[in-house]
Structure 1
């Protein structure tokens, strides 16, 4: 799969936000299918790793490092 460099920073931040949301759900007492959410978190973690790899291949095209993009604000 080829991802246009233009989208990689936005995708990284979006997936990071999704991970934070899912992690918050795991602390919910009303969550029913914990295993499905845990599996989804693992897949999102794999996606973050892939996107960081792609980002690093084209680091010269970007102003920020992946770490700077992913630290974000809580």
Structure 2
């Protein structure tokens, strides 16, 4: 897969937002099939970590450091 450079930061941000949304969703008392959501969150989190590693190793190509794009993720 070849993702255009301008879309890479957006992809990283979108997956981060999905992780945060699903983390908050797990706090819902009306959630059914919680195990499915927990498993989905595990996969999303792993994907997010993979994307961050890939971004970091190619950071110069994107013109924005990971710490600038995701300041709250800098310590991860």
User: Which TM-score band (shorter chain)?
Assistant: 0.7 to 0.9
Structure ranking higher on relative contact order (CA contacts 8 Å, 6+ apart): 1
- CA shift, 1:47, in A, is 0.8
TM-score by length of 2: 0.77
Instruction: List structure 1 segments (4+ residues) > 6 angstroms apart after TM superposition.
Output: none
Within-5 A mapping of 1:29-68: 29-68=29-68
RMSD: 1.8
**Structure 2: gaps of 5 or more residues:** none
User: Are 1:5 and 1:58, in contact at CA under 8 Å, matched by a contact in 2?
Assistant: no
- CA shift, 1:2, in A, is 4.4
In the alignment, the residues of structure 2 paired with residue 2 and residue 47 of structure 1 have an alpha-carbon distance, to the nearest angstrom, of: 17
In the alignment, the residues of structure 2 paired with residue 4 and residue 39 of structure 1 have an alpha-carbon distance, to the nearest angstrom, of: 30
Is 58-67 or 32-41 further displaced after alignment? Answer: 58-67
**Structure 1: gaps of 5 or more residues:** none
